[in-house]
Structure 1
Amino acid sequence: MSDRGYINLIRHLTRATSTLPLETLQASIAHYLARPPVPVPGTPTPLAATTLASPHFRPYTYQKLSALSVAFRHAVHLRLAVHKEEAEKHPGGLLARGVDVAGRTAKWLGAVLEGFRGSVAVVRLACAAGLMLGLEDWEAELGLKKKGARARAKVEEEVVIALAEVVDGYTGVGSGWEKDFKRTLEAGDEAEDTLLIAVLLASQCAPLIDPQRLQALPLPAIVDVLTTAIDRAFHGGVFLAPALSSVSVDAEGKLSVHAGSTFAQTIQTIASSTYISSMASLARFTALSLTTLVESRRVHGWEAIGRTLDRLQSLTDIVENDWTRCPLAGVKDDAGFVDEGSRGIATATWSILKTLLFTTLMLSQSILSAVVFVPSPNGDGAYTSPSGVPSPHSAALGVLHTLSHLSFVMPQFGGVASTSEGGLPELKRAFYMALDVLSASESEAKRFVEELCQNGGVTGKGKGVDILPRNVLNAKTAFALACAEQLMPVLSEGTIQSRVYPLCLPHLWDPSHRETYESAHSVMLAIFASHARRNDTEKAREPATAGSTFAEKIVPMYAQCLIENSSDGRLSTLQLCMAYAALVRSASSFGYADSVPDDVRDAGPAQADAMAWFCIEVLLDAIRHVGAAPVKATLPYSTAPKAEASSSVFAASESTQTSSEHLHRLHLALVATVPSVSLKLLPRLLTEVKATILSVPLSSNEREVDRRSEEMREELVEALFKAISQDIGDTEKDYAIQWWYKNLDALRRAGTPPRHPVFDGGEATASSVGSPAELSRL
C-alpha cells in the first residue's frame, strides 16, 4: 500500500489551490522524488509528471518556479544520500560488487526526466535547472561528470531544449515578441514575463553546461533578452532622476532623504528586486552567451557585441547625467547626512551603482576577449561596416566610454590606476585591455583622448569646467589622465600640448585628490618618456633637426615642480626619487631647449647631456637653499597654506626637524639620479653625491637628532650602493665600481664592513625604498 503522505501530496498538486504553504510542498516534493514509496509507484516518474503539470504553480512567477527548482535540487541531494548510505552498508569485496552510486543516480535521473514529457517548457526548465545544480553540488565528491556523463548530458540537453522552446515562442515570425516583452516589463511585477523568468532560471546553471550544447540556442535573441533584463533591473538608468526633488539640505549643509519620497521608494525597490539579487548570474550568462556566439557565429556575434555596447553606453550615460545633478554626489562621508534613514538610502544607492559597475566589467571583459581573439568580419578595419558590425577599435571605444560614464564609482575601489591591494583587478584588466586595442589606431586614440580632456575639465582654450560636482570632476579627470598616460606613445605633439598638458597642469601642485595628483605626475613623466623614445628613433634614422620640441621646453618647469612637491604631504620619498630619476633619464636624450640658460648650455659636455645636468643643477640649488628657506609650492595652482611665523622654541625645533627631513628627501632624489646619467656626467654627479653624503654630520652623542643624522647618512650610502650595484647601466658600471672602492673609506661608517657592488649587490636593499605598501604608480 502506498504512503498516505505521498497520496496527499498528489491530491494537493492536482488542485488549483492548496491549503499547504509553498515551503511544505517544496519539501514534500523533494522527499518523495528521492524516496518514492515502494512498491507503488516505486519510481519518481509519476510524481515528476504530476508536479510539472500541477496548476498550483500557475500563473507562472519566478518565486513559484524558483521554489520548484530548489525542490528538484534538494531531491538530488536526498537521493545521493540514499545511495551513499546503501554503499556504506554494502561496501563490496572480492566476491561481491559494491553499490554503484553513479550508476544508480543516472538511472534515477532518467526516471525523473521521463516525467518531463509533454509539460510546459518553462516548468521543465526550472526543474531541469534544479537537477543540474544538484548534480554540480556533488561533483567534487563523486565526480559525476565522468562516471555519470550520459545522465548529466541528458539534463544539460533538457535545459537547452526547454530554454530554446521558451525563446522560440517569443521570436516566431510575426510574433512581435520584443514589443510584447517591453510592454510586459513596463506593466510592473504584477504580470511576470515567462521569457524573463526563463533566462533568470537558465542563468543559474548556464555556466555548467557544455558550450557545444549552448551553441544550439538562439543566442542573438537570448543576448538581447538578457541585456533587456539588465536594463530593467536598473530601471533604464533613471533611478537617480527623482533624487533632486526628494532630498533636502538643512542649515548645517547636511542632507536628508524623505522616507516616503519617490527616490527612496525607487532605491528600495531596486535593492530588493529579484533582478539585482540575480545580477551576477545574469551578467555571467550574458558574457557566456556573447563568447559562445562570437566563436560559433562570428557575424551574429559581432553584431550582438555592437548592440550590447550601445545598451550599456545608453544606460551608463543616463546614470552619469543624473548623478551629476544628484545632491548625493557632493557628500563625502556619513557625517553629511541628517539621520540613519538618509544614510541607509545613500548606502543602498552606492550598492546599486557598484553592482552596475561589476555588471559592466563582466560584460566588457567578455567583449574584449572576443575582440582580441576572434577576428572582426569587417576585415578592412573600417570604423563601422554598413551591416552594423563594429570594428575592434569601436568596440574598445565603446567599453572605454562606458567605463568613463562610471568613473565616479571607481574611486570606491581605488580608481583604475591604483596599485594597492585593495584595488579591483577586473577593472584594471578591462581598462588596460581596451586601451591596448585602441592604441592600434592613432586617429581613434587621438579623438578619444581629446574628448576625455574636454569632458574632464579642460576646453580647447584650457578653461576649467565648473558645472560638475568636485568629486565627479576629480574622478573623470583621473580617468582621463590614466587613459592619456597609456595612449601617450600614439598621441601627436599637438594633442599633448593643446589637450593633455593643460589637463595635467592644475593638478601638479594639488595633492587634495591623491589619485588625480599622482596621475598628473605620471602623465608628465609619460610625456618625457614618449618623447625620449621618439627622439632615439629619429636619431637612428636621420640627424636631429634644429629647434626644441614641446617636451624639451617644459623640462625646466617640471624640474622645479618636483622640487616644490618634495615637501611633506606631497610626493612621497619613493615617488620623488623615481620621478626625478625618470626626468633626468628622459632629459638625457633631449637636445637643447630654448628655455635653458646659456651658461648651463655651455657647461654641458655634449648636447644630449646639457638638459640632464640642468635638472641636476636645479636639484643641487634646492639642496643648497632648503635649509635657509624651505622650498614651497608657490605657483598659482598650489593649495598649500602659507607658513605663519612662530616665536616658540618648540615650533622652531619642529621646523628644523621638518627642514632636515625635507633636505634628506632631496639628498635621496640626488642619489637616485646616478643610474640616469651618461658616462660623461657620471664623475661630476658622483662628486656632488659624495659631497652631499659627507655633509650629513656623524656624532657620537646620544641625542635623538644626532642619531637621526646617522640614520640619514646610512640611508644615503645604502641608496648609493643599490644604485651602483643594481640599477646603473653596463657602460657606466666599471667606472662606478672603481669610484666606489676609491671613496668607500670616506663614505662608510667606522666599523662597517666593506661591500662589493657586484658580489653583494643582490643582497643590497636601500632603506629609502620603504615598504611595498608605499609603492604607487610613480
Structure 2
Amino acid sequence: MSSGKTESQAPSTNQGGASQPQGFVDPTDDPTFQSLRRLLQAPASSNQHLSLLSTSTLYGSISYYIAHLETVHTQEFIHILVNSACLWSPPSPVASSSQIAGHESRVVQETSLQSFLLSRASSISQVVASSVPRRVKLLLDSRSGSTGWTTRRLLSSWLTALISGLSSPLPLPAPSAAEPYSLVSHLQIPRLAILSGLLTGFHFLREERKSAKRLGSKKPSAGSSSSDSSHHLNLKFYISQLEDEWIVAFAEILEALQGPIAVNSNPLEETKSEPNADTGESQHGFEDEWEKEFKKRSMSRPDSRHQIEADSSELDSEGRRNLRALRDVPLFLAAQVGPSIPDRKMQALCSEQLVSLVSDAILDLFECEVEATSDQPLPSGSSLLSRLPGETWIGSDGKAQIRIDGETVQNADLLNKSTLFPLIGPLSRILSRALGRATMAKDPASLLHFLLGTEENSLDRPTGKTKAVLARMSDVAKDLENGWIHSCLAGLEEDKISDQAKQHTKQLWTIFKTILFSYTMVFETLIDSVVEMCPSPTLTFPPSSTPSLSERVHSEAAVEGRQGSKSLVKRWGSASTSNLPPAYIEVAQSILITFSHLYWITSTFGSDGFETYRKVFYSTLDVIARDGEGCVRLLESISPLTGSDYSKFEMNQAKRSCTTYFLNVSEQLTAVLPDDMIEGMLLPICRPYLEDTRFKETFESAHSVILSLYSNKKACITELAPYYVELLIKSFPKMLNPTQLEYAMVTIMNSLSEKDDSVAWWVVDRLSNEIEAERKSPMQEERFLPLKLCLIALIPTVNLVLLRSLLRKVERYILDHKEEEQAKIKVNLCEKAFDSLSGLNSANREEGLRWWLDKRTRFGV
C-alpha cells in the first residue's frame, strides 16, 4: 500500500469504475482499500509493515472508508478492523528507528503495551467519531437534504452494519503477557473503542442540533445544505441503540477484569421506546422489533454475555492479573462517554464491579509504589506524600526547600502526566453513580460490608491495600494528611517557600484539590442515597442511665472495630440513640472522618469550603445528628488531641485546621452530646482559641460552638456566662463587629432567661457597666453607640420581672443625647427600641407598649 486516503482526499469508484468524488465507495475495484485490507488482516508479526504508514495516512484512510463505504461492505470492514492483530499489537522491537522515523510506532517501542493501546484506542475512537458526521452529510447529500424516513432507514442500516461487524469477533484466546494481542482481544478493547467513537460522533451531532435549535433554526427546505439538514435529523434512536451496545461491551470488560458477578439487570430491560421528543412521532413498533432481534443476536453470538462469563470464570490468577494491567484503557474510553449515558442504562452494569474498578484506578494514582531505602523503609503502596517530610527542609534563608530529584516531586510529575489524572472528574461521576446504585440496592449489613469491610476481609492480601472502597478512601486521605502536616511546607505562607520549591508545591496543590473534588463528588451521591434509605420518621430514644447489655456490647464492638478506642461512649456517659441502622451511622462517620483528613485542603476555600462540599458536609451531619452515641464516637475519632489534655494551642495553620474542623462539626452536634463530653472535651478545646484571637477562623469556630451550646440550652451555659460575656466584650470591636456582638448577646440572653433571671440580669448589668466606662473613653464613637444598640436589642429576651428595669436603662441612654447635633443618634436609638419592642411576647407586650406610649413624647419621635 503505497499511499492512503486522508480526510482531505475523497476519490472513490462505483461498480462501473466511474469517479464519484462525493458518492459512496464500492471497494471491489479500489486498490487502495484492498491494500489497506491486506495490511489490517496481516498477523501481529507483520505489524512493522503497517508502521511504514504515517498516522495521518492510516487513520485518515480508516475514517474515510468507514464514512464512505457502501453499507453492504461496512460490516466486513469493521469486522477486519476490530479483529486486526496487526493494528492492535505494538510494533516489533526489532523494527529499526529509520523504518518508523517520524511515526507513532517509534514512541511505542519505548512504552508499555498499555501506553500503546491507550494511544491506539484513543486515535481509533477519534477517527470513528469523525466519520459519523461525514456519513450523515453523505446521506443527506444523496437525499437532497431530506431527513425523511428513507434517510433515517439508510442511517439505521449503516449503524446496524457497524454493530454487526463489531458483534462477531474471533474466538477469545487465553490472555497471556507474552502475546499482547491475546490480552487486547480478550478484553475486546477494539470493540469498545469503536463504540465509544460512534457515540462521541452522534453526541457531537446532537449538540450541534441543540445549538441550532437554540438559535432558532428553521425547518430545512429542498435546497438547504446537508449541514443545515443534519440539525433537523432526530438522533435519539441511534444514540439509544449505541448506548445499549456500549453497555454490553463495557459489562463484558468489567467481568473480564473483575471476575463474573451477577449483573443488576439486562441492559435492554431499561430501554423503552419513547415518542419522538421533537415531532411527537412514536417509533414503538420499530424499536420493539429491533430489541427482539438484538436479544436474539446477543444470546447467539460467540461473545454473548454467557460466553464471556464462562471464559472469565476459567481465568487463572495470572490471566486475570495480565488483563488488569490494561485496566486504564477501557476506563479511558469510559470516561469519554460514560457520564453521558442515562442512569437507567448504567444500571445494567454490575455496580460492585464498577465501583471496585473505578475506585481502584482513582486511588491507585495516589498510592505510589516506591522502593524502600535503608534509612527510610516504606511499605509497598505508600502514598504520594510518604517521602515528603524527609525531602523538605528549611534553608539558610529561612525558606522551605524541596528535593527536586526526590520521589515526591517525581511521583507528582508522573501523576500529572498519567492518562487518567485529567479524567478524574468524569471517572468520579461514573464512580458516584455506581456507588449510589449499589447503596440503594443493599440492605444495611451488606452495605457496611461493601463500603467499610470487616476485620477478616479488610485487606487485599496480595497488595496489602484496603479493599472496601470507603475505608480505602479514608486511608488515602489520612496518608496524604500525615505526609503533608509533618513536612516543612505545612502551614507556610507563599513568601516562606523558596522559588525553587514554589513550582512543585503549586503542582502538589493541584493534585490536592483534584482529590478533594473527586471525594466530594463521590460522597454527594453516597450520602443522598443513605438519606433516602433512612427510616422515616427517624425515632430518637433518650439516653438511659443504665444501658442494656446489648447496647454495651454494640457500643464497645463498634468502638473497637472502627475507631480503635475502648470505652468510647461510656467515657462521657450515655447519649441518645435512634432507629437508624448502625451501618448508615458508620457510613456517615466515615465520610466526616475522611473530610477531617482533607480539611487542610478544604480550608483554602474558606472555613465552609465550596458549595458542593457544604451540601455534602451538612447532609452527612444531618444523618449522624439523629444518633447521640454516633456523634460521640465521631467526635472522639476526629478530636485534634488525645488523652485528657485538650487545651493545647496549635500555631501551625495546617495542623490547626484539624481543630477548626472538629469545632465546625461539634457546632452542629451539641444538641445530642452528653454534658460530660461538652465540659470534659469540647470546652477545653475551645478555650485557647477563644482567649487568643490571632487565628480568626478557629476563633470564629470556637465562638460558634459556644453559641450553639446556648441555642441548645445545655447544662453548662449558666456557669459559662460570666466567662463568655467577658470574652465577647473584650473581643469587640477588634474581632467581632456590632452585628456579631448583638447576635451573641441575644442568643445568650434568650437561653439564660429560661434558666436563671439573676444571671440574665448580670449580663445586662455587665453590658451597662461597659457602656458607662465608654463615656470617658477616647474611642467612644467606635464602641459607645454599638454597645447601647446591643443593650436595647436585649429587650425581647428578658422576662417581665426584669423588663421595667431594662427599659429604665434604655430610657436613660436615649435621653443622654440632648444636643441638637446628636438628634440623628437619638432617632437611631429610638428606632432600635421600637423594633425590639415589636419582638416582645404576649406576656410582656402590654408593658412594653405602655412604656413606649408614655416616653415617646420625651424622646421627640
Common fold, TM-score beyond 0.5?
A: yes
Specify which of 247, 251, 255 is matched with residue 164 of structure 1: 251
Contact 2:389 2:484 in 1 (8 A): no
C-alpha displacement of 1:258 = 3.4
Opposite residue 118 of structure 1, the aligned amino acid is: S
Contact 2:439 2:526 in 1 (8 A): no
Contact 2:621 2:668 in 1 (8 A): yes
Query: Partner residue of 1:587?
Result: 752
User: What SS does the aligned partner of 1:19 have?
Assistant: coil
Specify which of 398, 420, 439 is matched with residue 590 of structure 2: 398
Contact 1:407 1:475 in 2 (8 A): yes
C-alpha displacement of 1:448 = 1.9
What is the CA deviation profile of residues 689-715 of structure 1, one whole-angstrom value per residue up to 9, with x for unaligned ones? 232233346444xxxxxxxx6665554
Tell me, in whole angstroms, the C-alpha distance in 2 between the residues paired with 1:711 and 1:565.
Answer: 27
Contact 1:227 1:311 in 2 (8 A): no
Specify which of 91, 110, 113 is matched with residue 163 of structure 2: 113
Of 151-160 and 716-725, more deviation after overlay is shown by: 716-725
Contact 1:450 1:499 in 2 (8 A): no
Tell me, in whole angstroms, the C-alpha distance in 1 between the residues paired with 2:54 and 2:234.
Answer: 38
Specify which of 83, 106, 109 is matched with residue 53 of structure 1: 83
What is the CA deviation profile of residues 267-314 of structure 1, one whole-angstrom value per residue up to 9, with x for unaligned ones? 111122222111112211111111222334557555433321111111
Tell me, in whole angstroms, the C-alpha distance in 2 between the residues paired with 1:32 and 1:735.
Answer: 92
Query: Partner residue of 2:791?
Result: 670
Q: Does 1:517 align with 2:699?
A: yes
Specify which of 250, 254, 263 is matched with residue 395 of structure 2: 250
Of 711-720 and 472-481, more deviation after overlay is shown by: 711-720
C-alpha displacement of 1:458 = 6.3
Evaluate the alpha carbon distance shift between residue 696 and residue 100 of structure 1 in structure 2; reply closer, same or farther with a 3 A threshold: farther
Q: Does 1:123 align with 2:307?
A: no
User: What SS does the aligned partner of 1:330 have?
Assistant: coil
Q: Does 1:211 align with 2:343?
A: yes
Evaluate the alpha carbon distance shift between residue 694 and residue 268 of structure 1 in structure 2; reply closer, same or farther with a 3 A threshold: farther
TM-score (normalizing by structure 2): 0.69
Tell me, in whole angstroms, the C-alpha distance in 2 between the residues paired with 1:691 and 1:86.
Answer: 93
Of 119-128 and 316-325, more deviation after overlay is shown by: 119-128
Tell me, in whole angstroms, the C-alpha distance in 2 between the residues paired with 1:5 and 1:724.
Answer: 93
Q: Percent identity over the alignment?
A: 23
Query: Partner residue of 1:367?
Result: 526
Tell me, in whole angstroms, the C-alpha distance in 2 between the residues paired with 1:211 and 1:145.
Answer: 26
Opposite residue 620 of structure 1, the aligned amino acid is: S
Query: Partner residue of 2:127?
Result: 71
Contact 2:335 2:427 in 1 (8 A): yes
Opposite residue 611 of structure 1, the aligned amino acid is: V
Tell me, in whole angstroms, the C-alpha distance in 2 between the residues paired with 1:142 and 1:86.
Answer: 20
User: What SS does the aligned partner of 1:407 have?
Assistant: helix
Specify which of 621, 625, 629 is matched with residue 439 of structure 1: 625
Specify which of 332, 357, 369 is matched with residue 200 of structure 1: 332
Specify which of 418, 427, 451 is matched with residue 282 of structure 1: 427
Opposite residue 503 of structure 1, the aligned amino acid is: I
Evaluate the alpha carbon distance shift between residue 140 and residue 41 of structure 1 in structure 2; reply closer, same or farther with a 3 A threshold: closer
Specify which of 722, 731, 735 is matched with residue 565 of structure 1: 731
Evaluate the alpha carbon distance shift between residue 619 and residue 141 of structure 1 in structure 2; reply closer, same or farther with a 3 A threshold: same
Tell me, in whole angstroms, the C-alpha distance in 1 between the residues paired with 2:421 and 2:738.
Answer: 45
Tell me, in whole angstroms, the C-alpha distance in 2 between the residues paired with 1:477 and 1:332.
Answer: 19
- Give the alignment of 1:670-749 within 5 angstroms: 670-696=791-817, 698-700=819-821, 712-725=825-838, 727-747=839-859
Q: Does 1:336 align with 2:482?
A: no
Query: Partner residue of 1:62?
Result: 118
Q: Does 1:610 align with 2:758?
A: yes
Query: Partner residue of 2:475?
Result: 314
Query: Partner residue of 1:620?
Result: 768
Q: Does 1:291 align with 2:436?
A: yes
Query: Partner residue of 2:52?
Result: 19
Query: Partner residue of 2:222?
Result: none
What is the CA deviation profile of residues 443-477 of structure 1, one whole-angstrom value per residue up to 9, with x for unaligned ones? 12112223333xx24641334176xx711232111
Tell me, in whole angstroms, the C-alpha distance in 2 between the residues paired with 1:80 and 1:107.
Answer: 12
User: What SS does the aligned partner of 1:719 have?
Assistant: helix
Opposite residue 560 of structure 1, the aligned amino acid is: E
Tell me, in whole angstroms, the C-alpha distance in 1 between the residues paired with 2:525 and 2:726.
Answer: 45
Query: Partner residue of 1:478?
Result: 660
- Give the alignment of 1:375-386 within 5 angstroms: none
Tell me, in whole angstroms, the C-alpha distance in 1 between the residues paired with 2:845 and 2:153.
Answer: 71
What is the CA deviation profile of residues 90-141 of structure 1, one whole-angstrom value per residue up to 9, with x for unaligned ones? 46xxxxx857765554333222212212334222112212222333333356
Evaluate the alpha carbon distance shift between residue 626 and residue 31 of structure 1 in structure 2; reply closer, same or farther with a 3 A threshold: farther
Query: Partner residue of 2:600?
Result: 408
Opposite residue 425 of structure 1, the aligned amino acid is: E
Tell me, in whole angstroms, the C-alpha distance in 1 between the residues paired with 2:232 and 2:121.
Answer: 26
Evaluate the alpha carbon distance shift between residue 317 and residue 711 of structure 1 in structure 2; reply closer, same or farther with a 3 A threshold: farther
Contact 1:102 1:148 in 2 (8 A): no
Query: Size of the alignment, in residue pairs?
Result: 648
Mind listing any 5+ residue stretches in structure 2 that lack a counterpart?
Answer: 1-12, 14-26, 90-112, 170-184, 211-230, 260-311, 369-381, 453-467, 540-549, 563-580
Query: Partner residue of 1:556?
Result: 722
TM-score (normalizing by structure 1): 0.76
Contact 2:71 2:157 in 1 (8 A): no
Contact 1:698 1:710 in 2 (8 A): yes
Evaluate the alpha carbon distance shift between residue 734 and residue 142 of structure 1 in structure 2; reply closer, same or farther with a 3 A threshold: farther
Evaluate the alpha carbon distance shift between residue 716 and residue 451 of structure 1 in structure 2; reply closer, same or farther with a 3 A threshold: farther
Tell me, in whole angstroms, the C-alpha distance in 2 between the residues paired with 1:159 and 1:463.
Answer: 58
Q: Could you say what the CA RMSD is over the residues aligned between the two structures, in angstroms?
A: 3.4
C-alpha displacement of 1:238 = 1.5
C-alpha displacement of 1:365 = 1.7
User: What SS does the aligned partner of 2:52 have?
Assistant: coil
Of 553-562 and 438-447, more deviation after overlay is shown by: 438-447
- Give the alignment of 1:473-512 within 5 angstroms: 473-512=655-694
Query: Partner residue of 2:740?
Result: 575
Tell me, in whole angstroms, the C-alpha distance in 2 between the residues paired with 1:560 and 1:526.
Answer: 18
Query: Partner residue of 1:29?
Result: 62
Evaluate the alpha carbon distance shift between residue 145 and residue 291 of structure 1 in structure 2; reply closer, same or farther with a 3 A threshold: farther
Contact 2:742 2:790 in 1 (8 A): yes
Mind listing any 5+ residue stretches in structure 1 that lack a counterpart?
Answer: 92-96, 185-190, 533-548, 592-608, 630-655, 701-708, 749-753, 755-778
What is the CA deviation profile of residues 486-528 of structure 1, one whole-angstrom value per residue up to 9, with x for unaligned ones? 1111101101000100011111133322221111111101112
Contact 1:206 1:285 in 2 (8 A): yes
Evaluate the alpha carbon distance shift between residue 146 and residue 566 of structure 1 in structure 2; reply closer, same or farther with a 3 A threshold: farther
Evaluate the alpha carbon distance shift between residue 45 and residue 400 of structure 1 in structure 2; reply closer, same or farther with a 3 A threshold: same
Contact 2:647 2:685 in 1 (8 A): no
User: What SS does the aligned partner of 1:354 have?
Assistant: helix
Tell me, in whole angstroms, the C-alpha distance in 2 between the residues paired with 1:699 and 1:85.
Answer: 87
Contact 1:103 1:148 in 2 (8 A): no
What is the CA deviation profile of residues 592-647 of structure 1, one whole-angstrom value per residue up to 9, with x for unaligned ones? xxxxxxxxxxxxxxxxx222221111111111113436xxxxxxxxxxxxxxxxxx
Specify which of 608, 611, 635 is matched with residue 449 of structure 1: 635
Contact 1:128 1:159 in 2 (8 A): yes
Query: Partner residue of 1:138?
Result: 205
Of 470-479 and 52-61, more deviation after overlay is shown by: 52-61
User: What SS does the aligned partner of 1:240 have?
Assistant: coil
Q: Does 1:462 align with 2:646?
A: yes
